C-alpha cells in the first residue's frame, strides 16, 4: 500500500488512523515492547490506501490486510469486522478516530 507521503503526493486527501500499544500477550511479562499500527485512508471514498505495522507478527498480520486492500477494502469494512481477541491483529479493526 501507499505511505502517507505517497498518498498525499498522488493527490489523495487522507485520514490517518494510528495506534501504539503493548501486545496483550506481553502483559504477563516484563517485556515493554510496543507495536505501531497505521492505516492510511482516502478521505473521499473511504478506501484503505496503506497499512503499516512495526511489531511482533507484523508480517503475518499484514499479509491478510494486503489481500483486503487488493480487493478494495474500505475503512467501513474494517470497522464492521469483529476482531479476534486477544490478538495484535484486532487493533486494525478497532482504530476508530483519525489522528489527523
Q: Please name each of the domains of the chain with its CATH number.
A: 4-92 (3.30.390.30)
CB 22 within 8 A of CB 35: yes
Give pLDDT tens digits for 2-55: 999 999 999 999 999 999 988 777 677 787 889 999 999 999 999 999 999 999
Q: Which one, of 65, 57, 17, lies nearest residue 38 by Cα? A: 17
- Indicate the DSSP class of residue 92: G
Kindly list the catalytic residues.
Answer: 85
Give pLDDT tens digits for 37-47: 999 999 999 99
CB 95 within 8 A of CB 17: yes
The helix or strand, by DSSP H or E, that contains position 20, with its residue range, turns out to be strand 14-21
Amino acid at each position: 500500500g501507499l505511505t502517507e507521503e505517497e498518498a498525499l503526493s498522488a493527490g489523495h486527501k487522507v485520514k490517518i488512523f494510528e495506534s501504539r500499544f503493548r501486545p496483550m500477550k506481553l502483559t504477563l511479562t516484563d517485556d515493554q515492547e510496543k507495536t505501531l499500527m497505521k492505516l492510511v485512508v482516502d478521505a473521499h471514498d473511504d478506501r484503505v490506501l496503506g497499512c503499516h505495522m512495526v511489531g511482533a507478527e507484523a508480517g503475518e498480520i499484514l499479509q491478510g490486510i494486503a489481500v483486503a486492500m487488493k480487493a478494495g477494502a474500505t475503512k467501513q469494512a474494517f470497522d464492521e469486522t469483529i476482531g479476534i481477541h486477544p490478538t495484535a491483529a484486532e487493533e486494525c479493526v478497532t482504530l476508530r478516530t483519525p489522528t489527523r
